[in-house]
Structure 1
Amino acid sequence: MSNIIPLRNTGGFTRMDNDLYEALIGADLSGRELRVALAIHRQTAGYNLENARIAASYIAQMSGIHREDVSRAICELIRQRVIYRVGGSRSPIGFAPINEWAIDKKNTHQNKQKVVPQCGVSTTSNVAFLPHNKDINTNLTADAVVAAVASTGEDLESEPEEQAPPEPDQPAVAKADRIPYGRIAEIYNTVCGEKLPKCLKLSTKRKNLINGCWNLEINGVHPFRKGEFWTAYFTDCLTNKHWIGENDRGWTADIEFLTRQDKVLKVLEAL
């Protein structure tokens, strides 16, 4: 008796390129990222398409993953160059060539016990040393921005500044106005430094633009006072191919462009 069980055609099959199949097997992606990648493959190669416009809500319905987590996984797959967008945040998605993938390097000593500080409190900065990008919420929709910011992460701590005593009848400068410009610039350089010009100096103009983001209030919350929100925002900016130089002039955005109030609102309202 044969042990081979023939497959029955119960509705068709989706072909997958062997190299892509093996690359996905070997890619050190998170479970959600892999499920989202497979859903994208189903909606592209499954219909003989190189790329397709796929709503995050549709992938959420297919995979059973919350829409916010789907959006985050898509941003991570784009950042690691596994998939690409043809244009902006609602443009068609497709798989990038395998030789261009840049999967994050993971800790190869998974069983090694992590050293915990004796005081029980991590001294790692939330800004200078950010958590792994897979833990960063990249859901920047205008309606959900408050929940995304209020539910996770800690406030960016203001940089200490030496200030002269206030003049008579002048109010003291609020702590929220002492903005950690240097740390924000460091986040920008970390996220965008490979594709956009690095921020080497914080001019008065750049500080004023960052100040506008810092004090931007949406539904009673200041989202840009969270370190992970800056990371998520700059990551989403990189999905705009025109801004990263894919245009007829070779022009690229910089930190001044990305912190302009009209561009900030454009990104937040796009999703």
Structure 2
Amino acid sequence: MITNIFQIDKSRGFTRMDNDLYEALIGAELSGRELRVALAIHRLTAGFNQDSVKVAALYVAKMMYTEEGRPEAERANVSRAINSLIRQRVLYRDGGSRDPISFMPPAEWKIDQKSTVLKYTHCVENIPATVLKITHIKDRNTNTTPNGVDVAADATTPAEPTPDASSPEPTDKIPYEQIRSLYNTILGGKLPRRMGLNESDRKRIRGTYNLKLEGQFVVREKGLEFWEGLFNDALNSNFLLGLNNRSWKADFEFLTRASAIQRFLEGKYDAA
């Protein structure tokens, strides 16, 4: 008799999931963290016979991580995952970070398509033309495939050239329009949209590529991934969105200044 099979104890109860929602989550191209957050929200809604739930990111992080200190460390990542799911219309929240969350009908989901970053040119190919997957400005690049499998360098893999970190970023490699497009896609509904770029914008962005903190060129080394993470973090900052005593809001010009980015990386702006 097989004894290592998990036996379902019906006395513990069950959380029912709508079949359409279940199948949509199975087929959705979500990140692992996004899927876990979605499951946590489902547990807190359907599991308690509620259509929506008012829950803090820290509480969800405690559901996902049990190690001491880990939930606190992951709270910001969970907050960004919630925001990503809202942007992709998997979840719905009418209001700010303290308002209830519910699921959108799967037919209305707008899941991001995968994108390919060309390492040698720092250009981005979108398949199709959609926004990139959510990343965070403090995440480190890893040597992995899109499926998360580690890639070991071998004789058939050409060595990637090492850039000269001491030299300025060549201007023809700075994706000005992609940066503007990311800003409008992520923040256009909350902050003033940027409809075009002038030479002052390009000069300011070029300057940010030489921002160096703790020995690293933090913008140059991550390219578009940095800007995507920055704009998503700004979307979680109440202060930058205008919830401050001056009713001041950030804009494209502000978020592309080297001085503002440095203050952001130093944690000077509160996150939701």
Superposition TM-score tier, normalisation by shorter sequence: 0.5 to 0.7
Q: What secondary structure is seen at the aligned counterpart in 2 of 1:210?
A: helix
Given the alignment of the two structures, is residue 80 of structure 1 paired with residue 88 of structure 2, yes or no?
yes
The letter for the 2-side match of 1:87 is G
Does 2:35 align with 1:34? yes
CA contact (8 A) 1:80 1:104 kept: yes
Partner of 2:44: 43
Say which one has the larger Rg: 1
Q: Residue 186 of structure 1 is aligned with which of 174, 178, 185?
A: 178
Q: Residues 52-103 of structure 1, C-alpha deviation per residue, up to 9 Å, x if partnerless?
A: 1122642441699994875664454243222356435xx5672352254211
Any stretches of 5+ residues in structure 1 without a counterpart? 108-121, 159-173
- Structure 2 counterpart of 1:203, which letter? E
- Find out whether 1:265 has 2:263 as its counterpart: yes
- 8 Å CA contact 2:186, 2:231 repeated in 1: no
Distance 1:155 1:34, change over 3 A: farther
Q: How does 1:13-162 map to 2 (within 5 A)?
A: 13-16=14-17, 20-47=21-48, 48=50, 49-55=52-58, 57-61=61-65, 67=74, 73-74=81-82, 76-84=84-92, 86-87=95-96, 91=98, 94-98=101-105, 100-105=108-113, 125-129=121-125, 133-134=132-133, 137-138=135-136, 140=137, 145=138, 148-149=139-140
Change beyond 3 A, Cα 1:78–1:257 = farther
Aligned length: 224
**2:3 aligned residue:** none
What RMSD over aligned residues (CA atoms) do the two structures have, in Å?
4.9
Preserved contact between residue 83 and residue 93 of structure 1 (Cα < 8 Å)? no
Separation in structure 2 between the aligned mates of residue 265 and residue 84 of structure 1, nearest angstrom = 31
Contact 2:44 2:53 in 1 (8 A): no
Question: TM-score normalized by structure 2?
Answer: 0.57
Identity percentage of aligned residues:
36
Give the number of the structure with larger relative contact order, counting CA–CA contacts within 8 Å between residues 6 or more apart.
1
Shift of 1:218: 3.0
C-alpha distance in 1, partners of 2:141/2:26?
36
Distance in 2 (CA, whole Å) between partners of 1:21 and 1:230 is 33
